[in-house]
Structures are given as structure tokens and as C-alpha cells.
């Protein structure tokens, strides 16, 4: 039995605009049992406030401070390193980074899931900053996510494109970075081996958690594709969050 | 002394719209000495006919059949494998691939230097075809090229993005594929160790040629960046094509 639980959001709590069956009750059960809990997400198409608003609208009883997001970790990093970011991020996220000025000139490249903003001109601007020595900071390196039945390109492929173009390696601020998991664990006051991470992304959620010392559980909802579990032999497996909570918490 | 010479074009014969100093004379000298010669290029922003027209306009005496291009190798591969390509290529190149039909449905993804067409929607279309099992065929994996003083993103970063997104590996039809060099050597009727490849791209031109068994010579024009030669210790080095031909041919 874990002493604390970390949950991915998209594909675990909801799909598109609907909660997944049994997930609202499963979270309520974790909360009523008093589990220290964090929702850990690389989602960078939505602000934390918007994520909280959507989850509340679906019936989830979550405090805003229980959401630990990659954009939040990114902001913290930029501020503590006094960096001036060029942000290739989604328009929805702009307000959360608007006060971080680029002037006199950007000295860091920040990549989130920028969706249609991933175009040649924006990527080339980032490329030139990288050549000039700016670090490449990524909210995540997820390959894809699922939206309205289709797999959509996430930030990861574009991070890889820029790494290859400029011959650099990105620093990942979100999952699967061990520092990201540790940041959430620090808030909960538990050690890695006491915590269980439940997610639908075999790499960012499950393998990432395992490498950071947590237990990992893969759910077969969201972006899960048959056979994903073969990549993480030591991981727990559950049909969905409801089953994961019933069996492992 | 080599028995045959292969030359890269952009950054070796010309930069932007001007021949590089001494290069026209150097090519004339190679031709007058009777060297079997091929201009080998991954350029996929121009048709072979247009490359020939531009070179002729600069004073180069080259026969069209001496240009051995990645798009030409790609066409040959598609035809011999009877593939129906989804082409993410530059608009200038469309006419060379227009007769290769996508109907009833594309079963291969072809990537050239598509420039501004590398956008989220086109890349996502390619991604979905790759997930459905289409092979990823690249004219090159060059990181960047130089145009009007600036380094511009080439096809390579976008090939890497798609490889990462779909978990596949691209087949490269242009440089640095050994098969591409071999195709040019076959036309010239020489073996690899008899041939010298001269180029400004340390990876595609020089390391690629060396791996295919040719001798490689790096010139310090075009996209050359200080220190590139450290990546290929066995390579010849010259300030430009004129010096390379004077010293090594």
C-alpha cells in the first residue's frame, strides 16, 4: 500500500471533456482515505486554473494546490535562474508566462505543447537562439496525446527536432524528469518509494516514475496502446483508475 | 589521386545566387582533365532542371545527367517499390512528383526540405500515416543549410520529429546513405575507394562518403562551421573547392 498517490490527469481522470467511468469516485475515495495526493501533468494547453475549473465541472473534488503541472515547474525554474524565455507555447498558456520578459533579448527557449504554433518560422527562431547558446527547456517530451479519438502530436517531437538541428540536449522540467516527481513528493512530504504514480503514458508516467524511485501503475485508458506495458516489466497494470485504486490503494 | 570526383553543390559551387570564388574554374579543370564527375546533392527545393539552369547561368559547364540528386534517387525508389507517396516536399519540387498518385491511399511518407510546409497539420498527417504502417522516406537528414547569410532548418529535424513521434526509423534516400553514393559510383563505373567526395557538410558529405568507402574532403565554405573537421579525423581539408582540386585532384 502506498503512502501517497500521484495521478496523471488527461487519459486517466478524463478523456476530452468527459470524466472516465469510475474515476470521479476513485479520486473521492483516495481523498476520503486521506492519501496525500498530487495530480501531476505535462499538459501545457491549459492553465492550472483552467484545469481545476474543468475538473471541478466534471465533479472532481480537488484543491487547486493539488495540481502539480509542468508549466508550474517551468515558471519556478525560469524565475530561480532569472532567465528571459522565448516561449513556444500554446496561446492558452500565454497569460501564465506573460510577465516573464524577453527584453533585452531572450536567453532561453521554452517549449510546451504549442500545437499549430509549431511552424517553420517559430521553430527557426528557436533554432537560432539555441545556436547562440540559449538552453532548451521543455515542459515535456511526450510523443502524442489523445483528443477526440485521434492521436495528436505533443511537444516531444518538436523538442527532438530542435535538439537535432542545434546539436543540443533539452532539459525537461515536467515528467519524466526525476526532479519533477521529486518536486511533487517534496510537497507531500513522502519519499519516492512510498509513492505510487498512476498514468496512461508508459514513458512519461510509468517509466519516469520508476526511474525516480516511485512505484508505477499503467492504466489502459487514454493514449494507452496495446502492448505498452511490455516496456515497463516491473509496473502495475490496471484497466482504469477505478481498478487501480481498488486493487493497489 | 582519385579516379572520379563527386561534388556537393550548395556551399561548394555556389552560395545563394553567386558562384564561390574559383569554383567555376575548378569544375572546368576537373572536366577538362576527364574526371568522371557527379554533382551529388540533397537539395530538394529545386528540380534537377532548375539546378542545371542556375549552374549554367553561373558559368558552370555541366551536363544535366551529371547531377545526381536525392529527389532523383527518391523517385527511383518509389517507382521500383510501387509506392503511393504522401509528399511533404517543397512546392518547387511538386512537378517532379506530381505523377506519383496518392490514390487510393498513400502508403509511404516522403520528406524533403519542405520549408514553410513543415507545419503542425502536415506533420500530423504524416504521423498518422506512419502509425498506420507507411515507411518514412527522407531525401536527407541534413540539420540546416545556409541561405543569404542565415542558417535555415533543413529536412533532418522534421524527420527526427516524425521518427520520435511514431517510434520508427527513416530510410534516407540521399546523402549520407551508402546506397546513394553507390548509385552515383555505379553511373561513373568506379569503385568507392577510387572516388573523392568534396563537400561542406561534415555529416552528409564527408562522414557519409567515408562510411560508404570513398575519400572525403571538407571545404571551409557554405555551411562549414569552425571545428567541424574534428568529427572526421581521416578527411582531407581545403579552404574551398579551388584549393581542394588544386591539391587533391
Which positions in chain A have a beta carbon within 8 angstroms of at least one beta carbon in chain B?
A: 115-121, 123-124, 127-128, 131, 143-144, 150-153, 156-158, 160-167
Name the residue of chain B whose CA is nearest to A130's CA: B151
Q: How far is A39 from chain B (nearest CA, A)?
A: 25
What's residue B16's pLDDT? Answer: 87
Are A161 and B159 within 8 A, CB to CB? Answer: no
Report, as an integer, the average pLDDT of A47-73. 96
**B75, B119: one domain:** yes
Q: Look-up: residue for cell 561534388?
A: B7
What's residue B202's pLDDT? Answer: 96
How is residue A134 annotated by DSSP? Answer: -
**A107, A35: one domain:** no
Beta bridge pairs of residue A34: none
Interface predicted TM-score (ipTM) = 0.88
Q: How far is A4 from chain B (nearest CA, A)?
A: 32
Residues of B in contact with A127 (CB under 8 A): 144, 151, 153, 157
Other residues' Cβ atoms within 10 Å of the Cβ of residue B231: 12
Residue A77 included in any domain: no
CA dihedral A184, A188, A189, A190 (to 10 degrees): -80
What's residue B53's pLDDT? Answer: 97
Is pLDDT above 90 for A232? yes
**A99, A219: one domain:** no
Contact A143 B164 (CB under 8 A): yes
Residues of A in contact with B151 (CB under 8 A): 127-128, 131
E strands, chain A, where?
4-7, 14-15, 18-19, 37-41, 67-69, 85-88, 108-111, 136-138, 144-147, 150-153, 171-172, 195-199, 215-219, 236-238
Are B152 and B146 within 8 A, CB to CB? Answer: yes
Q: List the B4-7 sheet strands across, edge first.
A: B67-69, B37-41, B4-7, B195-199, B215-219, B236-238
**Residue B79 corresponds to which cell in the numbers above?**
517507382
**A19, A34: one domain:** yes
Contact A123 B118 (CB under 8 A): yes
* B146-172 core/surface letters (b: 16 or more CB in 10 A; e: else): beeeebbbbbbbbbbbbbbbbebebeb
User: Total domain count for chain B?
Assistant: 2
Q: Which residues contact A170 (CB under 8 A, 6 or more apart)?
A: A111, A136, A137, A138, A141, A159, A162, A163
What's residue A71's pLDDT? Answer: 96
What's residue A146's pLDDT? Answer: 87
Beta bridge pairs of residue B150: B147
**Whole-number Cα distances in Å, B146 to B12, B35, B231:** 11, 28, 20
**B62, B80: one domain:** no
**A168, A110: one domain:** yes
Domain termination site, one of A125, A144, A172: A172
What's residue A133's pLDDT? Answer: 97
Residues of A in contact with B160 (CB under 8 A): 157, 160-161, 163-164
**B227, B202: one domain:** yes
- Say how many Å lie between the first and final Cα of chain A, rounded: 6
Is pLDDT above 90 for B32? yes
State how beta strands A108-111 and A85-88 pair: parallel
* Tens digit of each residue's pLDDT (9 = 90 or more) over A203-228: 999 999 999 999 999 999 999 999 99
**B65, B82: one domain:** no
Range of the domain at A131: 82-172
* Tens digit of each residue's pLDDT (9 = 90 or more) over A143-186: 999 888 899 999 999 999 999 999 999 999 999 999 999 999 99
User: Testing the interface with A: which of B143, B157, B166 to mutate, by most A Cβ within 10 A?
Assistant: B157
Confidence of residue B226 (pLDDT cuts 50, 70, 90): very high
What's residue B104's pLDDT? Answer: 81
Are B224 and B171 within 8 A, CB to CB? Answer: no
* Tens digit of each residue's pLDDT (9 = 90 or more) over B91-135: 999 988 988 877 788 999 999 999 999 999 999 999 999 999 999
| Closest among B4, B10, B36, B44 to B174, alpha carbons compared | B44
Is pLDDT above 90 for B146? no
**B77, B146: one domain:** yes
What's residue A124's pLDDT? Answer: 97
Residue A76 included in any domain: no
CATH number of the domain at B31, please.
3.40.50.1000
**B87, B167: one domain:** yes
Is pLDDT above 80 for A80? yes
Residues of B in contact with A120 (CB under 8 A): 115-119, 153
C-alpha neighbours within 13 Å on the C-beta side of residue A141: 18
The pLDDT > 70 percentage for chain B reads: 100
Confidence of residue B159 (pLDDT cuts 50, 70, 90): very high
What's residue B195's pLDDT? Answer: 98
Residue A30 CA to residue A34 CA, distance in Å, equals 6
Q: How far is A1 from chain B (nearest CA, A)?
A: 35
Residue A75 included in any domain: no
**Residue B152 corresponds to which cell in the numbers above?**
535555415
| Closest among B2, B81, B93, B86 to B42, alpha carbons compared | B93
What's residue B131's pLDDT? Answer: 96
Are A152 and A180 within 8 A, CB to CB? Answer: no
Residue A26 included in any domain: yes
C-alpha neighbours within 13 Å on the C-beta side of residue B219: 29
Is pLDDT above 90 for A62? yes
What's residue A147's pLDDT? Answer: 87
What's residue B149's pLDDT? Answer: 87
Name the residue of chain B whose CA is nearest to A124's CA: B153
What's residue A110's pLDDT? Answer: 97
**A124, A151: one domain:** yes
Contact B165 A150 (CB under 8 A): no
**A179, A237: one domain:** yes
Residue A30 included in any domain: yes
Confidence of residue B190 (pLDDT cuts 50, 70, 90): very high
Which among A115, A116, A161 has the least Cβ separation from residue B158? Answer: A161
Is pLDDT above 90 for A100? no
Domain termination site, one of A172, A206, A233: A172
3-state SS class at B3:
coil
Domain termination site, one of B128, B144, B172: B172
Are A238 and A205 within 8 A, CB to CB? Answer: no
Rounded CA Rg of chain B: 18
Residue A248 CA to residue A241 CA, distance in Å, equals 10
**Whole-number Cα distances in Å, B175 to A221, B68, B212:** 42, 11, 10
Is pLDDT above 90 for B148? no
Amino acid at each position: 500500500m502506498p503512502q501517497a498517490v500521484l495521478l496523471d490527469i488527461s487519459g486517466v481522470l478524463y478523456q476530452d471533456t468527459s470524466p472516465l467511468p469510475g474515476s470521479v469516485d476513485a479520486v473521492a475515495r483516495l481523498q476520503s482515505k486521506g492519501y496525500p495526493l498530487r495530480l501531476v501533468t505535462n499538459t501545457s494547453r491549459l492553465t492550472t486554473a483552467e484545469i481545476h475549473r474543468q475538473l471541478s465541472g466534471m465533479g472532481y473534488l480537488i484543491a487547486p494546490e493539488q495540481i502539480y503541472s509542468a508549466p508550474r515547474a517551468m515558471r519556478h525554474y525560469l524565475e530561480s535562474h532569472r532567465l528571459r524565455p522565448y516561449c513556444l507555447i500554446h496561446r492558452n498558456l500565454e497569460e501564465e508566462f506573460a510577465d516573464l520578459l524577453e527584453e533585452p533579448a531572450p536567453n532561453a527557449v521554452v517549449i510546451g505543447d504549442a500545437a499549430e504554433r509549431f511552424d517553420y518560422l517559430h521553430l527557426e527562431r528557436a533554432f537560432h537562439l539555441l545556436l547562440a547558446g540559449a538552453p532548451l527547456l521543455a515542459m515535456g517530451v511526450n510523443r502524442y496525446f489523445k483528443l477526440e479519438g485521434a492521436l495528436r502530436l505533443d511537444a516531444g517531437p518538436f523538442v527532438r527536432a530542435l535538439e537535432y538541428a542545434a546539436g543540443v540536449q533539452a532539459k525537461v522540467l515536467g515528467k519524466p524528469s526525476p526532479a519533477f516527481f521529486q518536486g511533487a513528493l517534496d510537497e507531500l512530504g513522502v519519499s519516492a518509494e512510498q509513492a505510487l504514480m498512476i498514468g496512461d503514458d508508459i514513458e512519461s508516467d510509468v517509466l519516469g516514475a520508476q526511474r525516480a524511485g516511485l512505484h508505477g501503475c499503467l492504466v489502459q485508458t487514454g493514449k494507452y496502446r496495446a502492448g505498452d506495458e511490455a516496456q515497463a516489466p516491473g509496473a502495475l497494470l490496471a484497466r482504469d483508475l477505478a481498478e487501480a485504486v481498488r486493487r493497489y490503494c
